[in-house]
Amino acid sequence: MTDEEKGTGIGTVVLSFFTGAALGIGLALLYAQTRDENGDAECEEGPLFI
């Protein structure tokens, strides 16, 4: 592979990582918000941290 192809590959991996992280955080926040609205929260210590 040329240096340019390696750089593109690394960029794709980094972009995929951040996209996955953002999606995971978004789903966790949505889950926490849904539980709070339904009154199903078992504890009231604070926001959900994963």
Residue 26 confidence (pLDDT) above 60: yes
Helices marked H in the chain:
3-38
CA of 44: how far to CAs of 14, 37, 41, in Å?
Answer: 35, 13, 7
43 SS3 class: coil
> What residues contact 9, with CB distance under 8 A and at least 6 apart?
1
pTM: 0.55
Q: Average pLDDT for residues 25-50, to the nearest whole number?
A: 76
Residue 47 DSSP code = S
2: amino acid identity, one letter: T
**Residue 33: CB atoms within 10 Å:** 12
Answer whether residue 45 shows pLDDT above 80. no
Q: What is the mean pLDDT of residues 20-25?
A: 96
State the pLDDT at residue 36. Answer: 79
